[in-house]
Chains A and B, each alone.
Chain A
Amino acid sequence: MNRTVEKSDRLGEEYSVTRLPSGLRLWFLPKRGFAKKVAVLGVEFGSVHEAFTTAGSGEVRRVPAGTAHFLEHRVFETDRGDAFDLFERLGAGSNAATGHTNTTFFFTCTENFYPALEILLGFTEKIIVDEEMVEREKKIIIQEILGYQDSPDWQGFTGVLQGLYRTHPVRLDISGTVESVSEIGADTLRLCHGAFYHPSNVDLYVSGDLDEQELLEFVLRAHSAERGGGKAEPVPHAEAPGAAAKYAAKYMDVPKPRIFIGFKELFGPLDGEGLMKRNLSTSILLYSMFGGSSDFYIGNYRTGLIDSSFSASFRGEAEFAYTVISAETDEPARLRDAVLGRIASARGEGVPEKDLARARRRLKGRFLRNWNSPESAAFSLMFYAQKGASPFAFERILDSMAPEDIARRIDDHFDFANNCSFVVES
C-alpha cells in the first residue's frame, strides 16, 4: 500500500492518502476536538460520461442522458434496506449529488462512525435493482426534473451550456430529460454500476477526530475483496470551435429578465498542476474584472444595470472549461454589450496589476476557511483531488504565478467566437 502524507505548517493541518489493494484511495485529514465526523465517497461518474468502454471488452456503450443521476438515486437501495434509513438509525445524516464529472455520497455523524462508513462503502460493492424499482424511481425523478424546469437559474445555466457546446455532453442536463430518463432500464444501471463504481474509480475522503490506523484497518476489512475487472474508460470528447448559438432565449414567467453570458475554452491536455494553475489564474482574472470591488461591478451597480445577483464564475475540468457571467437585469442586451466591451478592453489593455494583487490576497485568506471544519475539510480535499492536484499546493501555485500568467488568460480564455448569451425573460 502506498501512503503519502502532506503537511502545511501554515494551516497547521496534515492529511494522508493511501492507495488500498482494491484500488480505492483513502484520504484522511484529522480534526481533533470536533464532535462531527464526515466521510465522502467520490465516484468518477458524471453526466458527461455518456459513452465508455467497459474494462476488457473494448466495446463502446452509450447510455441515455441522466443515467449517472438515476444511478445515484438507486444506489441508496441496499440489501439491508434504504440507506437513508440505515444512516439515520445511526444518527448520521446523509446526502448525494451528481455533477458533470462526478457523483458524491456523504454522511456526517457524531457517533457510530464505522457502522455508517460500512454502509457508505457498500455503495461501491453492489446494486440492487429491478425493473419495478426503476419504474417507481422514474416517477420521482420526473418530479425532480419538473421542479428544475420551474427554476429560471437552472434553465439559464443549462441553456447557456447548450448554446456554447455543439457536441460535448457537458451540454446535457445533469438529471436528463423526461424523455431520456424514460429510456433508462435496470440493465443500464447495472452496467454503469459495474463500470464506474469500481474501487479504482472511487475515492474516500474522511475527516474528524479519528485514529488513522483504526480507520485504515476498518476500510481494509470492509473493503478487502479485490474486485475483478477494472474501471471503464470514458470515450473522450472533442469539441469543435465556435459556439452552437450566439444568442438563445427561453420564455418563463419571471418578473425580471436574467442573462447568462458564457465562454467556452478549447485546449490541449493538462496535468493536475496545470489544471489548478488555470483555475486559479482564471479566478483571479475574473474577480479583478467583474468581482465586487471591480470598476465594472461598482459602476453598473450604481446605475442599477445589475444588482447583487451578478456573478462571474469559471469551471475548469480536464476536458472542458467555461465561464458563465450572469445577472438579473432589466436590460439584458445592454448588460451583454457592457460585459463584452469590458472583455474587449481587457484584451487590448490588460488588467491593472494592483487589482490582480488584491484579488490574490483575497483568495489566499479565503483558502484558509476551507479547513474550518471536518465537513469543509473533506469536501476541500475532494475538490483538489478531483482536479488531480495536491490540496495544499494551492498557496505555492498561487505564489508562483506571475502577473503575465494571469494576463495571458484574457486572450486564451475569452474568444468571442466561443461566446453565447442566453436570456430568460417573460
Chain B
Amino acid sequence: MAVGPAAGDSTSFEHIGLGGGVNLHLRRTGRFKSVLVEAVISEDLSDEASMTALLPAVLRRGTAAFADLQEIARHLDNLYGASFSADVMKVGERLMPYFRIDFPTPALAGADGDLLGDCVDFLAEVMFRPRLEGGVFLKEFVEGEKTNLVSQIKGLVTDQDHYTAQKCIEMMCRGERFAQYEYGTVEDAEAITPESLHAYYSRLLETRPVDVYVVGDVDPESLSRLMRKSFPERKYSPVPLRETEFIAAPSYEKTFYEEMQIEQARLAIGFRTGVRYNDPALPALLFFNGIFGGFAFSKLFKTVREKEGLAYFAGSQIERSKGIMLATTGIDASSFGRVMDLVRGILDSMRAGEVSREEMDSARARLMSRFNSISDSQTAVINMHLEGMVNGSFMEIGELLESIGKVSAEDVAGVARGVRLDTAYLLRPARKAGGGGGAA
C-alpha cells in the first residue's frame, strides 16, 4: 500500500496508506531528541464549531483503558514525560481536531519497554476508544468541558489583541464560514449534550480522513505494524469536504467601533489579498506582506512605530488558505485616523511600485531563510504539509525557493493593486466616569 516518498524536497514525508481513510506520513530523521506524532482529523469549519472544538477536550478526559485525567496524566509521566495535547486548528475554512504526542527518542531516554508502541497506542486510545456510559460520553466529562469551553470563549476579551483580530474577521467575513471563531459560540457550546456530541463523533469517524504525521527517528516498518495494531478498522465512507470560499475583493469598506474598560486602543484592519494558496502569485504575496507589515523593516512598522512613535507593535499577517491579510496595532484611540491614513498611504505607495531594492532584497533573504529552515522544526514540516492538504496541492520547497528567487518589484506592485481594504475594527477604552485625564 505504500505510496512511496514524494519527490525531492527536504520536507517530504514517506506516505503509507493504512486503509480505512488513515494516512500515515513519516519523516524519518535522527536529528531530533524527541519523536512527534500528530493525528489530524479533517473537518469543515461550520456552525458546529463548538462541537468540533469540544470533542478533543472530552476525548482527552478518559478512555476505556485510562478511566480519568489522573490515569492519563500518570501514564504520560511514566512515558518519560511525554507531552500530550488535543485541540482544534483553524486553517482556511477547515476546523481540524488534532491529537499530538511528543516523547523522547526511545534510545536516548534509556527507555524500558516499548516507548514508541506505548505512545502510538495511547494516541489511538484517546481518539478511538473513549470512555462511554450507556453508549455515549460521560455526562461529567461533557458538562465539565462545556463549562471550560464557555469560559474560554468568554475569556477571549482578556486578550484584547486576539479579540480585536477575531472581531475584525467576524465582521469582515460575515456570511462566510471563516467568520466562525474556532471555539464557536457560548450558545452552541451550552446546547451540546453527551448524546449529540457522541453522534457527531461517530459521524466524524465514519466520514472524515485521519492523517497521522510522525517526525523522528522511527523505523517505517515497525511504525506501520504498530499503527495497524493500534488504529482500529473503521467503517469509512468519506463525504467530500468543502472548499474554502474565496472572495477576491470586498463590495465596500466598513469600520466598526467597540468600547471596553481598557487603557490602550487596539486596531485590526482586514484586507482581501486577491491571492490564495494555489495562485502562482503566492510568492509575490509573501513579499507584499513582508514589506507591508510582516517584517520588522516593513513600511507599517517603520512608519507607525519608528517614525511616528504611535505604537509599540504594528504588523501584518496573511491567511494564505483564505486569501486575507490582517494588520494589527495597539495605539492611543486619538491616533486612529492618523494610523488609517498611514496604512492607506502605504498601500497606495506599494501599488505605485514604491518598493526599494533594499526592501526586495531583505524580504527575499528573510523568506529564503524561513523556507530553507522548515525541516529544522518538527511542527513546521507538519504544518506545511497540512496547509497543502487543506488546499489540495502541495508546495514543493525547492520550487517555492526558486520562485521566491524570481519575484520582482513589479510582481509585488501587481499583487498590491489587487489588495483591498475590507474592514477596520477599533476597540477603544471606554470613557471613565469622573474624567481625571489618562496617561501621557
Whole-angstrom distance between the alpha carbons of A359 and B157 in the complex?
Answer: 35
Q: Which of A163-209 contact B (CB under 8 A)?
A: 178, 182
Could you tell me if B368 and A136 are in contact, using CB atoms closer than 8 angstroms?
Answer: no
Whole-angstrom distance between the alpha carbons of A417 and B3 in the complex?
Answer: 66
B112 → A minimal CB distance (Å):
10
Q: What per-residue 1/0 map shows which CB atoms of B128-149 lie under 8 Å from chain A?
A: 0000000000001000100110
B297 / chain A contacts, CB cutoff of 8 Å: 82, 84-85, 88-89
Q: Which of A336-389 contact B (CB under 8 A)?
A: 358-359, 361-366, 368-369, 371-374
Could you tell me if A298 and B68 are in contact, using CB atoms closer than 8 angstroms?
Answer: yes
Quick one: which of B104, B296, B366 contacts A369, CB cutoff 8 A?
A: B104
B361 / chain A contacts, CB cutoff of 8 Å: 89
A182 → B minimal CB distance (Å):
7
A80 → B minimal CB distance (Å):
13
Could you tell me if B377 and A141 are in contact, using CB atoms closer than 8 angstroms?
Answer: no
A10 on the B face (CB < 8 A): yes
Could you tell me if A12 and B263 are in contact, using CB atoms closer than 8 angstroms?
Answer: no
B188 on the A face (CB < 8 A): no
From known contacts A293-B70, A293-B74, A365-B104, infer whether A372 and B366 are also in contact, taking CB-CB under 8 Å: no
From known contacts A256-B154, A308-B148, infer whether A92 and B369 are also in contact, taking CB-CB under 8 Å: yes
B433 on the A face (CB < 8 A): no
Could you tell me if B155 and A255 are in contact, using CB atoms closer than 8 angstroms?
Answer: yes
Quick one: which of A82, A90, A146, A182 contacts B264, CB cutoff 8 A?
A: A146
A149 on the B face (CB < 8 A): yes
B138 → A minimal CB distance (Å):
11
Could you tell me if B73 and A293 are in contact, using CB atoms closer than 8 angstroms?
Answer: yes
B440 on the A face (CB < 8 A): yes
Q: Which of A239-279 contact B (CB under 8 A)?
A: 252-256
Interface size on A, residues (CB 8 A): 71
Whole-angstrom distance between the alpha carbons of A374 and B154 in the complex?
Answer: 38
Write the chain B residue with the least CB distance to A35.
B373
B395 / chain A contacts, CB cutoff of 8 Å: none
B311 on the A face (CB < 8 A): yes
Q: What per-residue 1/0 map shows which CB atoms of B301-341 lie under 8 Å from chain A?
A: 00001100111110000000000000000111000000000
Whole-angstrom distance between the alpha carbons of A84 and B301 in the complex?
Answer: 11
Whole-angstrom distance between the alpha carbons of A204 and B440 in the complex?
Answer: 38
Could you tell me if B144 and A35 are in contact, using CB atoms closer than 8 angstroms?
Answer: no
Could you tell me if B366 and A91 are in contact, using CB atoms closer than 8 angstroms?
Answer: yes
Write the chain A residue with the least CB distance to B151.
A256
Could you tell me if B80 and A362 are in contact, using CB atoms closer than 8 angstroms?
Answer: yes
A81 → B minimal CB distance (Å):
10
B405 on the A face (CB < 8 A): no
A122 → B minimal CB distance (Å):
17
B368 / chain A contacts, CB cutoff of 8 Å: 91, 110-111
From known contacts A292-B73, A293-B77, A364-B81, infer whether A143 and B262 are also in contact, taking CB-CB under 8 Å: no
A137 / chain B contacts, CB cutoff of 8 Å: 309
A139 on the B face (CB < 8 A): yes
Q: Which of B60-97 contact A (CB under 8 A)?
A: 68-70, 73-74, 76-83
A144 on the B face (CB < 8 A): yes
B31 / chain A contacts, CB cutoff of 8 Å: 31, 33-34
A34 / chain B contacts, CB cutoff of 8 Å: 31, 373, 376
A371 / chain B contacts, CB cutoff of 8 Å: 33
B108 / chain A contacts, CB cutoff of 8 Å: 10-12, 368
Quick one: which of A84, A92, A368 contacts B33, CB cutoff 8 A?
A: A368
A212 on the B face (CB < 8 A): no
A362 / chain B contacts, CB cutoff of 8 Å: 76-77, 80-81
B23 / chain A contacts, CB cutoff of 8 Å: none
B78 / chain A contacts, CB cutoff of 8 Å: 358, 361
B102 / chain A contacts, CB cutoff of 8 Å: 369
Quick one: which of A11, A178, A255, A374 contacts B439, CB cutoff 8 A?
A: A178
Can you list 7 residue pairs at the A/B interface with Cβ under 8 Å? A140-B311, A144-B312, A146-B264, A298-B70, A364-B80, A364-B109, A368-B33
The 3 closest A-B pairs by CB, nearest first: A365-B80, A91-B365, A293-B73
Interface residues of B (CB under 8 A from A): 31-34, 68-70, 73-74, 76-83, 102-105, 108-110, 140, 144, 147-148, 151, 154-155, 157-160, 260-264, 295-297, 305-306, 309-313, 330-332, 358, 361-362, 364-366, 368-369, 372-373, 375-378, 439-440
A328-B155, A368-B33 known; 6 new pairs, CB 8 Å cut-off, are A89-B361, A111-B369, A146-B264, A256-B151, A363-B81, A372-B33
Interface residues of A (CB under 8 A from B): 10-12, 31, 33-36, 82, 84-85, 87-94, 108-112, 136-137, 139-144, 146-147, 149-152, 178, 182, 252-256, 291-293, 295, 297-298, 301-302, 304, 307-308, 328, 358-359, 361-366, 368-369, 371-374
